[in-house]
Amino acid sequence: MKIPQFQPFLDDKEYQAIKSCFDNNWITEGPKSKEFIDKLCKLIGVKHAVLAPNGTLSIYMALRAIGIGKGDEVIVPNFTFIASANAVEMCGAKPVFVDICDDLHIDLNKCEKLVNRKTKAIMPVHIYGMACNMDEVVSFAKKHKLKIVEDAAQAIGITWDGKHAGTFGEVGSFSFFADKTITTGEGGLVVTNDDTIYEKLLFIRNQGRIDRGSFIHPEIGYNFRMTDIQSAIGLSQLEKLDEIIRRKKHILFTYKTNLDSSIKIIEPPFQSSHIPFRVCITVPGGGYDLMDYMKTQGIETRTFFYPLHKQPAYQKQKTFFSKLFKKDNFEVSEKMYREGVCLPSFVSISDEEIKYICDKINEFLREKTVGIL
Ligand SMILES: *Cc1c(COP(=O)(O)O)cnc(C)c1O
């Protein structure tokens, strides 16, 4: 059997959606995009939203819209996709890395000592289809007068205590890349309840003007628009969201019932909903051997995120971060990287495939235990 890590969940509905753009003879941002934005605002429970070409640029726009720029510092968890930090760097600001808790989300206790007069914002990242503890983030931000930019790239449909991810602070960012919960191929979204931030976003994304077709540009802006073709795909994905959530929960359940009870599956606290973006397990002592073995059995797995403070790309900033690079500062993210394994959990995976994966994992761990004895 061959089981990939991921497969997009597309069918004739998306194909017909694309065709409808051709039928309308409208491919740039237009009626489909408006409908997509309206439906997303309703789903997320937010006043304003703008589309973006991808989730990296949507974080960038979000940061710019709240005024992050040169010389500023933004606290970013070191356990995330590197784009979270790169978007800060793109603004000319510094991402300041901090460790995570066992639930894979930002450790606010370790954030305290990072705050200085340059610190302007904090970026909680909602990881693997679970929500960050936003009660803690909001009170931390209030205490230190920081703005909140939520990286909710993986968190469409995810709530903390009933409130949708991305709506707790000034701005929130989502991604519609192919492996996110719903996709438009590439794509992103910035949400806000603040009218002034919304207006800034409009300027930034459309060449520094609000109206299309005008050549008067009150501000410097760029082209961060999307297309109606992508929005049309997004609309048909949104129609499948309930089905996607149901399937994802079933996948997690099937893993839980078939994996040996000694294997730890990471799950969020009760305040967070859970739409497993990945089914994540930790293997005490290290996940590498298991991943190698799975490969020989035709199963594609993934490691957890490589901690950002160890990324080759960020080593040149080591002087700047030197006081933060003390060994035990990042122990949780380092342990998670060593022990974490992401199992295939794409919507169309079959129960039979999941059972095969579980059999292989159980078999491997059993043999390993016997080997040690
Ligand atoms: C995917 C992702 C991004 C970047 O989104 P793109 O659409 O790929 O640019 C940023 N942060 C996190 C946590 C992500 O998972």
* Ligand 1 close to Cβ of residue 80 (< 6 A): yes
Asked if the model's pLDDT at residue 119 lies above 80, the reply is yes
Residue 6 resides in a domain: no
204: tokens are 């930034």
Asked if the model's pLDDT at residue 324 lies above 70, the reply is no
Tell me what the mean pLDDT of segment 105-121 comes to.
96
Asked if the model's pLDDT at residue 252 lies above 60, the reply is yes
Are 70 and 189 members of one domain? yes
User: Which pLDDT band, with edges at 50, 70 and 90, does 329 fall under?
Assistant: confident
Beta partners for 265? 281
Residue 304 resides in a domain: yes
In the chain, % of residues over pLDDT 90: 90
Residue 1 resides in a domain: no
Residue 258 resides in a domain: yes
Are 202 and 80 members of one domain? yes
Beta partners for 3? 299
Q: How far apart are CA 40 and CA 242, in angstroms?
A: 14
Residue 7 resides in a domain: no
For residue range 357-369, list pLDDT tens digits in order. Answer: 999 999 998 888 7
Are 111 and 230 members of one domain? yes
Are 222 and 269 members of one domain? no
Beta partners for 191? 49, 172
Measured by CA distance, the residue closest to atom 7 of ligand 1 is: 55
For residue range 138-183, list pLDDT tens digits in order. Answer: 999 999 999 999 999 999 999 999 999 999 999 999 999 999 999 9
Are 31 and 50 members of one domain? yes
Sheet holding 279-282, edge to edge: 264-265, 279-282, 340-343, 302-303
Q: How far apart are CA 358 and CA 370, in angstroms?
A: 18
Residue 253 resides in a domain: yes
Are 148 and 227 members of one domain? yes
Tell me what the mean pLDDT of segment 49-62 comes to.
98
- The whole domain housing 228 covers 12-238
For residue range 26-46, list pLDDT tens digits in order. Answer: 999 999 999 999 999 999 999
Q: Quick one: CA dihedral 292, 293, 295, 296, positive or negative?
A: positive
Pocket test for ligand 1, best of 56, 104, 130, 180 (most atoms within 8 A of CB): 56
Nearest ligand 1 atom to the CA of 57 is 9
Are 255 and 225 members of one domain? no
Boundary residue ending a domain (204, 222, 238): 238
* Ligand 1 close to Cβ of residue 230 (< 6 A): no
Boundary residue ending a domain (190, 222, 238): 238
Are 95 and 225 members of one domain? yes
